[in-house]
């Protein structure tokens, strides 16, 4: 990223992560991931598709709508989320900061990732800000994690996942494990969010590590 208005280089300690939320089922995975990143002190650049907005409301309720998301995260996950910064972009704004490789956003996750968005990323279509930001991650050789949530999967969907992996993305399906003894839906969300933030390079204690 270029120097700021004061002429000084940006704070190198700042960790900037893009998060895309699309219309596949799994809103709980998305908000838990955002909360964990914020609690780690990251600047989260959030983009939510039209169907992603609908997903938040339908699966988590009206209080989780995009406009009320900061309050929802604080109420559900505590004041720790205030350690980070949340920046919201419009998915139609393909000229936003994260659409350029010169903007030093170090990594990105799309959670959940719809099959439509997966296809767009696999083929470099860049029709929306989420797709364009993902394309930036690939061309700049930065970390891109896609979290598909679909079952069963068709052959074109499987091929799109392979194409994403061949381009350099990590395909991290929404498949929570059970060895940690989950008792609630939140426990399952913690596991998936832990897998995601770990893939993005953040330490966490969202679930106990396997010790053999």
Number of domains in the chain: 1
CATH number assigned to the domain comprising residue 164: 3.40.50.1950
pLDDT at 210: 84
Helix (H) or strand (E) holding 52: helix 50-60
User: Model pTM?
Assistant: 0.93
Dig out the tokens for 35 from the structure: 């909360």
- Residue ranges making up the domain that contains 153: 16-199
Is 8 part of any domain?
no
- pLDDT of 13: 63
What's the pLDDT score for residue 212? 84
Which of 79, 80, 78, 56 has the alpha carbon at shortest distance from 68?
Answer: 56
- What pLDDT tens digit does each residue of the chain (212 aa) get? 233 333 444 455 689 999 999 999 999 999 999 999 999 999 999 999 999 999 999 999 999 999 999 999 999 999 999 999 999 999 999 999 999 999 999 999 999 999 999 999 999 999 999 999 999 999 999 999 999 999 999 999 999 999 999 999 999 999 999 999 999 999 999 999 999 999 999 999 999 888 88
Q: What are phi and psi of 144, to 5 degrees?
A: -125, 125
Q: For 42-67, b where at least 16 C-beta lie within 10 A, e where not — what string?
A: bbbbbbbbebbbebbeeebeeebeee
Position 130 in a domain? yes
186 domain-assigned: yes
Q: Are 21 and 112 in contact (CB under 8 A)?
A: yes
- The answer to whether residue 29 sits within a structural domain is yes
**Does residue 206 sit within a domain?**
no
Tokens matching residue 180: 């940690």
CA distance 18 to 212: 34
Query: Hey, how many other C-beta atoms are within 10 angstroms of the C-beta on 71?
Result: 11
Tell me, yes or no, whether 93 lies in a domain.
yes
């Amino acid at each position: 990223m270029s120097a700021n208005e004061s002429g000084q280089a940006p704070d190198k300690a700042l960790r900037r992560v893009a998060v895309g939320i699309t219309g596949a089922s799994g809103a709980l995975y998305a908000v838990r991931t955002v909360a964990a990143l914020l609690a780690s002190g990251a600047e989260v650049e959030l983009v939510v598709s039209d169907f992603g907005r609908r997903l938040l409301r339908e699966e988590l309720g009206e209080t989780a709508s995009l406009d009320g998301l900061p309050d929802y995260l604080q109420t559900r996950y505590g004041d720790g989320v205030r350690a980070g910064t949340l920046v919201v972009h419009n998915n139609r704004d393909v000229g936003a900061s994260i659409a350029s490789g010169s903007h030093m956003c170090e990594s990105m996750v799309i959670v959940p990732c719809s099959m439509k968005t997966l296809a767009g990323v696999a083929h470099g279509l860049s029709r929306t800000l989420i797709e364009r930001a993902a394309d930036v991650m690939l061309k700049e050789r930065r970390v891109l994690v896609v979290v598909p949530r679909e079952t069963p999967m068709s052959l074109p969907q499987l091929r799109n996942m392979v194409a994403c992996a061949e381009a350099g993305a990590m395909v991290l399906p929404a498949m929570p494990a059970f060895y940690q003894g989950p008792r609630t839906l939140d426990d399952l969300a913690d596991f998936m969010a832990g897998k995601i933030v770990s893939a993005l390079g953040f330490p966490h204690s969202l679930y106990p590590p396997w010790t053999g």
